[in-house]
Structure 1
Amino acid sequence: MTIATPSTPPEPAPSGLTLPALTERVEAVSALYARKFGIARDPDWFVLKLAEETGELTQAYLAASGRTRPRVASEGEVPDGGRAALAAEVADVLAHLLLLARSQGIDVERAVREKWLVWEGEVGGEVDVQAEVGRG
């Protein structure tokens, strides 16, 4: 795996979808949704919607980890311990985070490189990404 640096572009995700391309697709869906339902996406909307979705992620996490009251499954629902709901809320938070960043003109890849990835060399050399991920 090649680690992207300011001088090397990031590798595309296995799906072939880059973060900027994902952001633009999420924006297109969000704009369509807003038009369909008459939602004004002003600057406050982006951050408030992210906060709403973060709350829903927290709720889904609590349910998936068994820390909420038991609920009755809907007819035809496959019991999965709340994993599908958790995954859906993670997707919502990621999408709304990308929308907020886009609305504020933030280059997410650059921000992550400058805030997080600068530490790769600070711990005494190259980081073995696979080993670090395995340590979780």
Structure 2
Amino acid sequence: MLDQLGSQFETASAGYAAAHGIERDPDWFILKMQEEMGELTQAWNKLSGRGRSQGKSPDDLRAQMADETADLLGHVLLFAQHHKLDLQAAIERKWRFQPAL
């Protein structure tokens, strides 16, 4: 199931990259994860009062945090797919359960 979700993110990402002339070289995958983690951290800082909310309501900030979490998830799956990592096996090994997706 994670492979299927990763493939869906890959299709969307490859299309976006092609439309905008973005080269997704090997460094791009890890750099995008870092970028998205930074954006998630920024959203958290705003929601938790450690950053300027820029006039956004708590609900707007929670939606922004959800959006950035979705971006991070997508880029984690893209990274795993690009490097042919078996996340399901890793989850079973590290977290000691079988994901039921």
TM-score, length-scaled by structure 2: 0.88
- Is residue 46 from structure 1 mapped to residue 29 from structure 2 by the alignment? yes
Higher helix share: 2
Task: Name the larger-Rg structure.
Answer: 1
Q: Which amino acid aligns with 1:53?
A: E
**Contact 1:64 1:81 (8 Å CA) reproduced:** no
- Is residue 113 from structure 1 mapped to residue 92 from structure 2 by the alignment? yes
- Is residue 36 from structure 1 mapped to residue 15 from structure 2 by the alignment? no
Please state whether the residue corresponding to 1:106 is helix, strand or coil.
coil
Offset, 1:81 = 5.2
TM-score, length-scaled by structure 1: 0.67
Tell me: CA distance 1:70–1:94, structure 2 relative to 1, closer, same or farther (3 Å): closer
What does the per-residue CA deviation read over 1:15-66, in whole Å, with 9 as the maximum and x for residues that have no partner?
A: xxx3221111000000000100011111100000110000000001111112
Report what 2:64 is aligned to. Answer: 85
Larger relative contact order (Cα-Cα within 8 Å, sequence gap ≥ 6): 2
Q: Structure 1 stretches of 5 or more lacking a match?
A: 1-17, 119-136
Once the two structures are superposed, the pairs formed by residues 6-45 of structure 1 within 5 Å of their partners are 18-45=1-28
Please state whether the residue corresponding to 1:29 is helix, strand or coil.
helix
Tell me: CA distance 1:23–1:33, structure 2 relative to 1, closer, same or farther (3 Å): same
Identity of aligned residues (%): 47
Q: Hey, what's the Cα distance between the residues in 2 that align with 1:61 and 1:79?
A: 11
Count of matched residue positions in the alignment of Structure 1 and Structure 2: 97
Tell me: CA distance 1:65–1:79, structure 2 relative to 1, closer, same or farther (3 Å): closer
Q: Which amino acid aligns with 1:102?
A: Q
**Contact 1:62 1:68 (8 Å CA) reproduced:** yes
Q: Hey, what's the Cα distance between the residues in 2 that align with 1:44 and 1:38?
A: 16
Q: Which amino acid aligns with 1:72?
A: G
